């Protein structure tokens, strides 16, 4: 499991493109018949993917965790971004269609990912962070998620944010998670941008057509950088960084946060006129 350490904003200001990509971009997560994980020192969040095509995949533990099971001291949120599949949690099966979300609490031992068929395999994207108590396993459909419609077509940022794991949704210790989908003609996410000094965030971009790119913006509001992403890649956003982006075509993204609190609206605005 790859490990990514934290970066100080003063150091980030001098980074070149290669350094930005090495420290924040998560590539090659989705690989057929494999589970890939990255351990970050941003609130100890793990970002990973399971893509069972020809066989089921079991989520085992890692040396870095020093635990008998992956969820011995952790919780996990999972979103399926393709096909149809299922996740078995200690023998209990949860069928998942596209954009369904499954939360699994601390203490569960046997997690198995499967696809309904190899011609259209499921792709499970997951985010995990430390947990201090157990919460029930729960599956939520997009129609059950609490939606927030933001932006406008005039500003090219008309989008619907489906909140799955949050204070008024699926209960968790510190994980907050959801999916953002765009209305036709809109391409800007989280614009105007913001920060939240009390927690980190990670984005996983998906449903971007082949050959198109996402341009993600990060850094302190007065010292920004950009990075180009392909489909099915993730980016880390430290607490001191804005997180915003646009793309050359339509797309969706999963957002996941961990840190000091779980209030979705706990944000520090970064007005457009202040960005440099």
CATH number of 20's domain: 2.60.120.10
On whether the CB atoms of residues 189 and 245 are closer than 8 A, the answer is: yes
> What integer pLDDT is reported at residue 158 of this predicted model?
77
Q: Is pLDDT of 155 > 80?
A: no
CB atoms within 10 A of CB 269: 11
pTM of the model: 0.95
Q: Is pLDDT of 213 > 80?
A: yes
HEC assignment per residue over 116-170: CCCCCCCCEEEEEEECCCCCCCEEECHHHCEEEEECCHHHCCCEEEEEEECCCCE
In terms of C-beta density within 10 A (0-12 exposed, 13-18 middle, 19 or more buried), how is residue 65 classed?
Answer: buried
User: HSE-up of 183 (CA within 13 Å, CB side)?
Assistant: 13
Find the mean pLDDT for residues 113-139. 96
| Biggest CA pair distance of the chain | 53
Instruction: Please state the domain count of the chain.
Output: 1
> What integer pLDDT is reported at residue 135 of this predicted model?
97
Please give the span between the terminal C-alpha atoms of the chain, in angstroms, as a whole number. 35
Find the mean pLDDT for residues 244-255. 94
On whether the CB atoms of residues 122 and 115 are closer than 8 A, the answer is: yes
Please tell me whether residue 52 adopts helix, strand or coil conformation. Answer: coil
- Average pLDDT taken over every residue of the chain: 94
Residue 215 domain boundaries: 2-274
% residues pLDDT > 90 (the chain): 79
Per-residue pLDDT of 25-84, as tens digits, reads 999 999 999 999 999 999 999 999 999 999 999 999 999 999 999 999 999 999 999 999
């Amino acid at each position: 499991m790859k490990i990514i350490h934290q970066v100080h904003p003063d150091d980030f200001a001098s980074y070149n493109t290669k350094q930005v990509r090495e420290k924040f971009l998560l590539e090659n997560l989705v690989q057929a018949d494999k589970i890939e994980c990255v351990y970050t020192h941003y609130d100890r969040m793990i970002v990973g993917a399971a893509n069972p095509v020809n066989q089921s995949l079991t989520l085992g533990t890692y040396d870095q965790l020093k635990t008998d099971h992956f969820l011995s001291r952790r919780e996990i949120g999972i979103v399926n971004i393709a096909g149809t599949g299922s996740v078995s949690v200690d023998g209990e099966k949860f069928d998942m269609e596209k954009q369904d979300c499954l939360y699994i609490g601390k203490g569960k031992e046997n997690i198995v990912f499967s696809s309904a068929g190899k011609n259209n395999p499921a792709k499970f994207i997951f985010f995990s962070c430390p947990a201090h108590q157990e919460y029930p396993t729960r599956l939520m459909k997009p129609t059950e998620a609490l939606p927030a419609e933001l932006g406008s077509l005039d500003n090219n940022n008309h989008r619907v944010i489906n909140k799955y794991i949050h204070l008024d949704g699926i209960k968790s210790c510190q994980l907050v998670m959801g999916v953002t989908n765009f209305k036709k003609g809109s391409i800007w996410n989280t614009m105007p941008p913001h920060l939240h000094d009390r927690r980190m965030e990670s984005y996983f971009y998906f449903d971007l057509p082949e050959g198109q790119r996402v341009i993600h913006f990060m850094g302190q509001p007065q010292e920004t950088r950009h990075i180009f992403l392909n489909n099915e890649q993730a980016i880390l956003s430290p607490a001191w960084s804005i997180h915003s982006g646009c793309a050359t075509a339509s797309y969706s993204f999963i957002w996941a946060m961990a840190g000091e609190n779980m209030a979705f609206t706990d944000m520090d605005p970064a007005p457009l006129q202040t960005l440099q």
